[in-house]
Amino acid sequence: MPPRQTSVGDTILRGKKVVVLTGAGISAESGVRTFRDNDGLWENHRIEDVATPESWARNPSLVWKFYQTRRRQLLEVEPNPAHMAVAHLEGKCKSLVLVTQNVDDLHERGGSSAIIHMHGSLRSLRCQNTGLSEVRMGEHDLAEGFVLCNCCTVATMMRPDIVWFGEIPLEMSVIQKEVEDCEVFIVIGSSGHVYPAAGLVNLANSNGAHTILVNFELPINGRDFDEVHIGKAGEILPELVENW
């Protein structure tokens, strides 16, 4: 059966426990490229060359350069109306937990609070020795050269604070519990290809939540949602939120 296309305004979130999961699509209208373009590349790189622990071990200079470019880009982009709409949603429900697969900081700058960055964050770097993260966005931190930590007696090289393919996403037990407990689960701008995030809709469904998708196109798991809104998040989400 095709997913139900609903009209604006037929879901009331007031008084509900809500979990929102966002993906790269919510930042697309801010000028941040999504993950896979039609050619299967991310910013002209194969995922295996820049987003795995193996690629870091094999060619740290390439991986570092790739993420330093993404980190510097944060200074040039701004949150768009979809980020603002998610922040606005907080005041409309009983509770809202925002889980993002995004590594940018546009939800923070769009006004959301208590964001779970399940795939890490571009703003911070992680000591390879202790595993401690530090926010490092100074001019020197964004230059081409590697950055050393402040936590070790003998300063250690830091890695991007990103969860790469083959690594375990952050705060999974908290995320699973929140999704199990929520009454409404909303996914915005995600292709449904990257697990375990893509499977959370099934967890929400099996616990009786109402599931909603807002995406530019019907993704691979689009039929798992009770309600689907197709369009650019920055264009359709503000009105949806206004009516929810």
Which residues are catalytic, by number?
119
Sign of the torsion angle spanned by Cα atoms 149, 113, 98, 179: positive
- Single-letter residue type at 232: K
Distance, CA of 56 to CA of 192 (rounded, Å): 25
Cβ proximity to ligand NAD, 17 vs 45, nearer residue:
45
Cβ proximity to ligand NAD, 149 vs 213, nearer residue:
213
Count residues binding ligand NAD (CB under 6 A).
Answer: 27
CB 41 within 8 A of CB 202: no
Distance, CA of 160 to CA of 153 (rounded, Å): 20
Cβ proximity to ligand NAD, 157 vs 230, nearer residue:
230
Cβ proximity to ligand NAD, 66 vs 183, nearer residue:
66
Q: What mask, x for binding ligand NAD by CB under 6 A, covers residues 68 to 87?
A: --------------------
Site for ligand NAD in 36-75 (CB under 6 A): 36
Q: Which of 182, 190, 199, 179 is nearest to 228 (CA)?
A: 190
CB 226 within 8 A of CB 210: yes
226 counts as binding ligand NAD under rule CB under 6 A? no
Cα-flanking dihedrals φ and ψ of residue 241, to 5°?
-60, -40
| Number of residues that make up the chain | 244
What 3-state DSSP class applies to 21?
strand
Q: Return all residues near 217 (Cβ < 8 A) that are at least 6 apart.
A: 230
Per CB under 6 A, the list member of 116, 142, 194, 203 interacting with ligand NAD is 194
Strand pairing category for 115-117 and 17-22: unpaired
Per CB under 6 A, the list member of 13, 19, 21, 32 interacting with ligand NAD is 32
Q: Which stretch binds ligand NAD (CB under 6 A): 52-60, 86-94, 126-134, 189-197?
A: 189-197
Residue with the CB atom nearest ligand NAD in the bound state: 25
Whole-angstrom CA distances from 118 to 95, 181, 226 are 19, 18, 24
102 counts as binding ligand NAD under rule CB under 6 A? yes
Q: What mask, x for binding ligand NAD by CB under 6 A, covers residues 129 to 168?
A: ----------------------------------------
Q: Which stretch binds ligand NAD (CB under 6 A): 12-20, 34-42, 56-64, 149-157?
A: 34-42
* Residues that bind ligand NAD in the complex, under the rule CB under 6 A: 23-25, 27-29, 32, 34-36, 101-104, 119, 189-191, 193-194, 215-217, 219, 232-234
